[in-house]
Amino acid sequence: MAKKSGWTLFWIAVSGVIVFVIGLCLYCWSLSSQIEKRFSGRRWSIPSKVFSDITVLYPGQTINRELFFSKLYRLGYRKVSHNPTQKGEFCASGSGIALFLHDFEIPSQKQEGFPVQVKFSENIIIGISRLATGEPVPILELEPEEIMSFFGPEREKRQLVSLKQVPRYLIDGIIVTEDNRFYHHHGVDPLGIVRAMLTNMRHLALRQGGSTITQQLAKNYFLTPAKTISRKVKELLISINIEIRYSKDEILEIYLNEIYLGQKGSVSINGVGEASNFYFSKPVSELSLAESALIAGLIRAPNYYSPYTDKNRCQERRNLVLQAMFKQGFISDQELKTSSAKPVTVTGFMVYANKAPYFIDYLADQLKLLYPPETLSNLGLSLYTTLDTQVQAAAERALANGLSRLEKSYPQLRRSEPEKKLQGALIVMQPNTGYILALVGGRNYNQTQFNRTTQSRRQPGSAFKPFVYLSALDSFTPVSILSNAPKTYVVDGKKWKPQNYEPDSEERITVRKALAKSLNIATVDLAMQVGLARIVDTAKAFQFSTPVKPYPSLALGAFETIPIELARAYCALAADGVLPHPLSLKEVVDEKGQVLERRQMTIKRVTSPAKAFLMSSLLRSVITEGTARSLLTKGVTFPVAGKTGTTNDYKDAWFVGYTPDILVLVWVGFDNGDSIHVAGATAALPIWAELVNSIPEYISGQWFKMPSGVVKRIVCSESGQIAVSDVCPEPREEFFLAENAPADYCSVHRHMGLLDKIMKGMKDVIE
């Protein structure tokens, strides 16, 4: 019985071992399947990056030097005291700047960095040339600026690199510090474990770990940080599996892209490619020996040894890595001495934050039609936008300054509660393309994410009047006479009597002057003569999405509109009558550089070039002799077309102004509709002026060319007919649609001219 019992126990033990072995094999097979699935598919969730447009510089261009240098710093350029010798360096003086450009690649264009000299005369670029040869450079382009990333829940940031791109110094430095026997073990290194245990016992502290690079990769990829025996066993099994399935170089490449190397605010820096950019603003392939040793030394405790935390501690750690590399024969004695003596120099960084947050929100809304959120946070797309970060910075500053000035000048506008403060919105567009160069949807994005440029509905007031006058151009000319005499209208059985904002004694007034002075009574008179239905049709043609009803108050902008739609409508006046679609996105590019999406300009003709030119001419009078004439005292010396806007009880203040090159809309008001007590010329116009004066590169000083279908005549200011030479007291130049141009000479003064001739003839006879 005892013998039989012994055999029973033996077979139970054998069976247990067999079951264990089979279970272990099945588990290893399961692990192998998981590893294959993870490594053969997408290995990382890479956030899609959003970029601004490129910046173009050329001789003869006027720039804002303050904004230009701020942009260089945001692009990661470093100021040095000598002529630049490495990409990303610049040296500035009063007469110019020497700049070593970064490499960059965008769809259909690739640029290798080279040193250039840009010469200034005050704020004008007078020359651009290659620093080495003096060869002129007609056009210089700066790379797009990264403005945000669509992060996943891990908020990891990495730039994928191949093993071929990583300098040998960095590979050697990482191997010597993290896994000296990497190429001699099979995932687990018993000698390394024993060596680590002896070192830790000798120092009575945890000074060295026994994990191999493969084990670190297994832990980061598949396991939690929990320090348990079961997790350690899984780590060993996964490591052996990885070593069986993949070559050493493949494992090392994955590790170099995976390893955690620091923190940028709430975003983790992963991989040597992103670390090279974060610490040194350069591609990993350009790292020096000292820089490579620094990154290798960070792996053990990235935030403890970070140069942004303690440069002295970082330098000590870097030099330990250099000494280890020397002992292993990776570097020479001279390289050790030279690199150890170098100070730790990093480029600095700004904590991650969205630039142009309201613009990004608008872009994100458009992207929802193209990509789901998980695509944007995983696939590493590059999204190239229309944003000009210099214009955006100027716009944000101009709006903040303008609102602060108003609160200082008018204490009744101050509010203590952040959500009740005076607000503003600002849009900058290129009329011919619809490109949005800047968009500011409110005073402080951190306090309110409500985007007033795209989400608010406000009455445009007099800012809508140009579309009333445009509706009338088939039958009215700039010299046509309107009634400015008070009149009462009956609307839905109720009496309504429009009032001018300021008293005006003229009861008869020309179309040009009525628009320039923004006279309500004359504008309603025009609207009633043209027909309200026709004005409604014009509003629909310009694609205002808010309801518009044929009431007389329509002529005064009493319906609500969305600011970006109003800006777009004005763009058509500046773009020969073509209504563009507001564009924030230009191209979407995948990880391989292939263009996935290219947003083309979408345009629609809504009026003729002749009528658009005539409206621009009328709106120029708003600046030269009308409600916006104060613009001339604010440094705006170039020709501008524009219109102020003020609603009932001063709830909304507007100014929309444009040139052939650029259009800017400014709105000021309270979200709850409180009165701001001042008109558009006082509240919005100064903000417009500050912004436009800050972006001289967009101001050519040119005016619109007169298209076919428009004629120019010298007319009598009193009669509006062709002026009689030397007789009409106030002749003036005026534009007309060809079919509406006056054909007769001035009926008021031409007889006086004939009488003068008779009297002169009689005098000659007498003499």
Note the pLDDT tens digit of each residue in 247-263: 888 888 888 888 888 88
DSSP 450: -
**Where residue 762 falls among pLDDT bands split at 50, 70, 90?**
very low
- Kindly state whether residues 694 and 714 are assigned to the same domain: no
Q: Are residues 566 and 714 in the same domain?
A: no
671 and 736 both lie in a single domain? no
pLDDT of residue 224 exceeding 70: no
Q: What integer pLDDT is reported at residue 590 of this predicted model?
A: 83
Judging by beta carbons within 10 Å of its beta carbon (0-12, 13-18, 19+), is residue 22 exposed, middle or buried? exposed
Quick one: which H or E segment has residue 657? strand 652-658
Of 640, 664, 698, the domain-final residue: 698
Asked whether 458 and 490 are in contact (CB, 8 A), the reply is no
Would you say residue 23 lies in a domain? no
Known catalytic residue at 462: yes
On whether residue 359 sits in a domain, the answer given is no
Answer whether residue 246 is part of any domain: yes
Residue 38 reports pLDDT greater than 90:
no
- Kindly report the backbone phi and psi dihedral angles of residue 89, in degrees, each rounded to the nearest multiple of 5, phi listed first: -100, 150
- Which of the following is catalytic: 143, 145, 178, 253? 178
* pLDDT for the residue 6: 61
Give Cβ neighbours of residue 8 (< 8 Å, ≥ 6 apart).
none
246-272: b or e for each residue (b if 16 or more CB lie within 10 Å)?
beeeebbbbbbbbbbbbbbeebbbbbb
Q: Are 81 and 204 part of one and the same domain?
A: no
- The Cα–Cα gap between 467 and 488 comes to 23
Q: CA 696, 697, 701 angle in degrees (round to 5)?
A: 65
Check which CATH number belongs to the domain holding 139 and give it.
3.30.2060.10
Residues 500 and 404 occupy one common structural domain: yes
Distance of CA 456 to the CA centre of its chain: 21
Q: pLDDT by residue (tens digit) across 191-221?
A: 655 554 555 455 444 444 457 777 777 776 6
CATH number at residue 524: 3.40.710.10
pLDDT one-digit tens code per residue, 611-631? 999 999 999 999 999 999 999
In the chain, the number of structural domains is: 4
pLDDT in tens, 383-393: 999 999 999 99
Question: For 137-174, how does the pLDDT look when each residue is reduced to its tens digit (9 = 90+)?
Answer: 999 999 999 988 876 666 677 888 888 999 999 999 99
> Final residue of a domain: which of 677, 698, 719?
698
Candidate list 462, 518, 553, 617, residue with the active-site label = 462
486, 497 contact by CB (below 8 A): yes
CA distances from 316 to 33, 227, 289, 311 (A): 43, 29, 15, 9
336 & 407 share domain: no
Q: In this predicted structure, what is the pLDDT of residue 203?
A: 47
Q: Is residue 560 a part of any domain in this protein?
A: yes
- Average pLDDT on 425-441 reads 96
Q: Is residue 94 part of a domain?
A: yes
* Domain enclosing residue 748, as ranges: 710-766
Looking at the domain assignment, is residue 22 inside a domain?
no
| pLDDT at residue 758 is higher than 80 | no
- CA 446, 449, 452, 457 dihedral sign is negative
Calculate the alpha carbon distances from 50 to 111, 365, 427 in Å.
19, 14, 19
pLDDT of residue 535: 96
Pair of tokens at residue 3: 């013998």
- Residue 759: per-residue pLDDT: 46
DSSP string, 615-642: HHHHHHHHHHHSTTGGGGGTT--S--EE
Q: Is residue 17 part of a domain?
A: no
Residue 763: the pLDDT is: 45
Q: Quote the pTM value.
A: 0.83
Same domain, 326 and 454: no
The CATH number that applies at residue 259 is 1.10.3810.10
Q: How far is CA 10 from the centre of its chain?
A: 75
pLDDT class of 2 with cuts at 50, 70, 90: low
Residue 45 lies in a domain: no
Active site residue 560: no
The Cα 7–Cα 26 span in angstroms is: 28
Phi-psi region of 502 (alpha: psi -120 to 50; beta: other; left: phi over 0): beta
Residue 380 to residue 228: CA distance in whole angstroms:
35
**332 and 206, same domain (yes or no):** yes
Domain boundary among 312, 341, 370: 341
* Distances 289 to 252, 294, 388, 691 between C-alpha atoms, Å: 19, 9, 37, 46
**Are residues 653 and 754 located together in one domain of the fold?**
no
Are 545 and 688 contained in the same domain? yes
Over residues 727-752, the mean pLDDT reads: 88
* Same domain flag for 693 and 722: no
pLDDT tens figures, 81-140: 999 998 889 999 888 999 999 988 888 788 889 999 999 998 999 999 999 999 999 999
705-719 per-position pLDDT tens digit: 999 999 999 999 888
For position 354, what pLDDT does the model report?
66
Same domain, yes or no, for 232 and 301?
yes
